[in-house]
Amino acid sequence: MNEQIQKSHESVRNEVYQLLVSAYCYNRKFGSLAERIKKESRAFLLEEVTALRHLSNGIVLHLCNLDDDDGWSLRTLRKAVAKEPFDDSAKRAIKKYLKKLRSNLNNLKTKHRNQFIAHRLADEYPDPFELLDFRTEFKALVQQAVSVFEKLWGKPVDFGFYPGSQDRFINFKEELDLS
């Protein structure tokens, strides 16, 4: 992909980054919750469950954004890339990957968004302790979204964070085992 398309679609890369930040934080918090509950207060439990609920909602919303028709979506990026001169079989393969991702996302979008985010009835509010496991509910979709993005971007992209100058780089794809 040429640099002009990358610059004009930086918002898509940023959306994937925000997806991975949310997924990384959710996975870490969820993974250590059972052990931390034993040592913390009930108020802490409320704080953690609330944070996990909002992080899981964030993961769903970032995935929805990547599937939308706007400027930060994989679909918009695919349309720009499709105009570039490169192998037609590669273009068809990318379109197929994106179609499969959209199909896989639809179930999560409908179920989670309607159960936890929008289109709810007041008397059907979910149990706050009903938290989704990253490995079973999100991992495959996040991995698939990152994979489609990198195919469109034309190369692997490092997504991560340096907590401080003395700390190691946190590579979100490695930490989430998305490779």
Per-residue confidence (pLDDT) for residue 23, from 0 to 100 = 97
104 exposed, middle or buried (CB, 10 Å; 0-12, 13-18, 19+)? middle
The domain segmentation of the chain, as residue ranges, is 3-175
Q: Which residues of 30-41 are buried (b: 16+ CB within 10 A; e: fewer)?
A: beeeeeeeeeee
- Name the fold adopted by 3-175: Four Helix Bundle (Hemerythrin (Met), subunit A) (1.20.120)
Look up residue 148 and give its two tokens: 């489609």
Per-residue confidence (pLDDT) for residue 124, from 0 to 100 = 67
Give the mean pLDDT of 130-138. Answer: 83
pTM for the whole structure: 0.90
Per-residue confidence (pLDDT) for residue 116, from 0 to 100 = 72
Of the listed ranges 5-14, 82-91, 120-129, the least confidently predicted one is 120-129
- Beta-ladder partners of 171: 160
Give the mean pLDDT of 23-46. Answer: 91
For residue 160, the SS3 value is strand
Give the mean pLDDT of 2-18. Answer: 92
Top-confidence residue, 121 or 75:
75
* % of the chain exceeding 70 in pLDDT: 95
pLDDT > 70? residue 122:
no
> Using only C-alpha atoms, what is the Rg of the chain?
18
Instruction: Report the alpha-carbon angle 122-141-100, nearest 5.
Output: 110
Terminal Cα distance for the chain, rounded: 22
Let me know: does 40 contact 56? Beta carbons within 8 Å.
no
Q: Percentages helix, strand, coil for the chain, rounded to the nearest 5? A: 70, 0, 30
